[in-house]
Structure 1
Amino acid sequence: MRETVIVGAVRTPVGKRNGGLAGQHAADLSAVVLNELAARTGIDLEIVDDVVWGCVSQVGDQSSNIGRFAVLAAGWPESIPGTTVNRACGSSQQALDFAVHAVMSGQQDVVVAGGVEVMSRVPLGSARASGMPYGPKVLARYDDFSFNQGISAELIAQKWGLSRTQLDEFSARSHERAAAALDSGAFEDQIVFVSTEVGAVTADEGVRRGTTVEKLAGLKPAFLDDGMIHAGNSSQISDGAAALLVMTAEKARSLGLTPLVRYVAGVVTGADPVLMLTGPIPATAKLLTKAAVGIDDIGVFEVNEAFASVPLAWQAETGADPAKLNPLGGAIALGHPLGASGAVLMTRMIHHMRDNNIRYGLQTMCEGGGTANATLVELVN
């Protein structure tokens, strides 16, 4: 197995629903990060063996292998292939795993991984418009199977005894941390500006400054009349793209590139498809065992904030230090552009590790259908 590193990580700002990125086609938005990745690393594009691209709603603008059309939109050589991955919200995290697997095994040497989602143009649930993807046998196997992740988030809150106040406190803290990160310039080195017909998008759009528990208390439950999950403690509908450059450590040295992090280990697990969003808990346990690393050895955790109950249940089960959990805010404040989110979180985490000399970073993502990815990377000094 060859030592595999990430030498470049870049993302667009995350646009809010119908915000600054809403007019961008997914292929064109992908092209922005692909070209920025190439510019920052200075690589000869001819050495890129493949582009593995995550996307969830592969219909309409995002259909017909958006990974390949991202390559063509970027003006890259026609000889560079591209493929599209769908593991629900973990699509671009899985894209990274697939890229690493190819490089580690020796089948390929240089692979780009990443993803895109423009939810303003291709709304969540678009793929269900022409049919029922679960099928009668799945529905027969799970009598209480829900298509709605919000219901799953409610069930998690109930199972772990989480109160609405706890959920709202976590959500307010996400906005507070994200605002502080924006103000400190923590995202500047990882973001590429996106030029649009109405002006440049230069920063994440979803942060709501001054969010408080008191303000969130006034929001009505979104999924159950007497529920705890509402718009303010759920991830935002968003637009965005991100890209990572993967190669062997030896290849990086030969090209004069400085690795950002070393890929240590990655896992994917299945879990209860009714609770659906608890997968990060067993995925984290499996990853730590595989890597022979303890939870206290990790300096930063990126646990996707699909709903506030997800990272809170994960924290309760793992015993992770809450100060290390999503220190720059998460999807509740910064948005969740589905197919791009895995690569967005990894980009955010890598740069945070570099800025703060953090050795280990762990990223995990809950996913529709009850699966979850978890990835461990190590800072390269």
Structure 2
Amino acid sequence: MKPVIVDAARTPFGKREGWLSGVHAAELLGYAQRGVLDRVGVDPDAVDQVIGGCVTPLGEQFGNIVRTSWMHAGLPLKAGCTTIDAQCGTAQQSVQLIAGQIAIGAVDVGVACGVELMSRAPLTYKVGTGLGTPRPESWSLDTVDQYTAADRIAVKRGFSREDLDAFGLRSQQRAAAAWEAGRFDSHIIDVVAPGSDVPVHRDQGLRESSLEGLAKLRTVRKGGLHTAGTSSQVSDGASAALLMSEDRAKALGVRPSAKILAQCVIGGDTEFMLDGPVDAANIVLGRTGLTIDDIDLFEVNEAFASVPMSFAQVHGVDPELLNVNGGAIALGHPAGATGIRLLANVIDELERRNKSIALIAICASAATTCLILERI
């Protein structure tokens, strides 16, 4: 069975305590789950399985949020639903898992999705009463926090504070230009927030920036290099993708938008932690026989500016092909949903440019997800 991506879409991303912070997480994900089906006109009864992600399953996001959202949206109860946590790569891993289920013939139609309402369920240790922290007392591995890792990458690659600030400004400028040109409109699912009759359509994280202004921001870590202007934003948002077997898409008269040529999930070292996209790209390139020069567009999640900058430096990527519409620094990073945002953006951008091949990579504290897709 050959899996194909039929559609990928997302809600707008709201900033912390912003436009979407009053929407329950189950309602927000439901907008994306139902929305991606409505956009294509596929009967929800055709869906066999739903796999989605949430990095912080606490409070309203607890208890298989994917299933809760699916039921609350009035979608068929017969679909199997699973919630996963692959940290920042969660939504992309959901896509990869659904594709794998289709490839082995277990599923004909599947929905991948993800949500994070970080205003109400911030990223935090998942501590249970009397159970302590996630790591046992005997833990001896030397692991670092993500801020330290990001700064270590910058030092390793020779990036100065000024270099990072320039990348942060670039993200804001490119995202603003993309919104102005309407490049995101085609994959946005509007959300009506409580107390309002006006649908939210636009990302809230964009802000006026300048090198002078960025230079005045204090670093996240004392003595470090990254600031709020060169780090991904705390955000609220959801996303979803519809995948099918090639045969089922043909039978339903549905036009696929892309197919996955190769995918991988790898663990990273503990010293640099977030630099996984560099090695993950080598794996998917090797599996396809492609080279960097064969890739038309690159999306490397902007967890911190040093991550895509490191990727570009090591692989010799043309900056004009990397995160061409900005990234998480400007648009936001609801951790469980970001992977499909990158997917939706790159598919639309390939279509707009009449190009074919894209590579998407997302670093995470535990692993890196990476795939190469081809526009159909």
Q: Give the TM-score normalised by structure 2.
A: 0.96
Helix, strand or coil at the partner of 1:135: coil
Contact persistence 2:9–2:188 (CA under 8 A): yes
Q: Which amino acid aligns with 2:333?
A: H
Helix, strand or coil at the partner of 1:197: coil
Is residue 333 of structure 2 the alignment partner of residue 374 of structure 1?
Answer: no
Q: Which amino acid aligns with 2:189?
A: V
Contact persistence 2:23–2:194 (CA under 8 A): no
2:232 counterpart residue number: 235
Greater CA drift, 110-119 or 35-44: 35-44
Contact persistence 2:125–2:133 (CA under 8 A): no
Contact persistence 2:125–2:134 (CA under 8 A): no
Measure, in 2, the Cα distance between the counterparts of 1:153 and 1:197: 37
Measure, in 1, the Cα distance between the counterparts of 2:138 and 2:98: 33
Describe the shift of the 1:316–1:71 C-alpha distance in structure 2 as closer, same or farther (beyond 3 A).
same
* 1:187-226 correspondence to structure 2 within 5 Å: 187-199=184-196, 200-209=199-208, 211-224=209-222, 226=223
2:2 counterpart residue number: 3
The structural deviation recorded for 1:127 is: 2.2
Measure, in 1, the Cα distance between the counterparts of 2:190 and 2:44: 22
CA offset digits 1:31-52 (Å, max 9, x no partner): 1011111111111211211100
* 1:75-224 correspondence to structure 2 within 5 Å: 75-128=74-127, 131-138=132-139, 140-142=140-142, 145-146=143-144, 148-199=145-196, 200-209=199-208, 211-224=209-222
* 1:235-274 correspondence to structure 2 within 5 Å: 235-274=232-271
Measure, in 2, the Cα distance between the counterparts of 1:78 and 1:248: 22
Q: Which amino acid aligns with 1:149?
A: Q
The structural deviation recorded for 1:129 is: 7.7
Measure, in 2, the Cα distance between the counterparts of 1:134 and 1:92: 25
Measure, in 2, the Cα distance between the counterparts of 1:135 and 1:87: 20
Aligned residue pairs total 372
Contact persistence 1:357–1:379 (CA under 8 A): no
Q: Give the TM-score normalised by structure 1.
A: 0.95
Structure 1: state its 5+ residue gaps. Answer: none
Measure, in 2, the Cα distance between the counterparts of 1:136 and 1:163: 37
Between the two proteins, what is the percent identity of the paired residues? 40
The structural deviation recorded for 1:137 is: 3.9
1:50 counterpart residue number: 49
Contact persistence 1:242–1:347 (CA under 8 A): no
Measure, in 1, the Cα distance between the counterparts of 2:60 and 2:220: 28
Contact persistence 2:235–2:334 (CA under 8 A): yes
Helix, strand or coil at the partner of 1:287: helix
Measure, in 2, the Cα distance between the counterparts of 1:332 and 1:126: 24
Measure, in 2, the Cα distance between the counterparts of 1:190 and 1:127: 33
Measure, in 1, the Cα distance between the counterparts of 2:265 and 2:297: 20
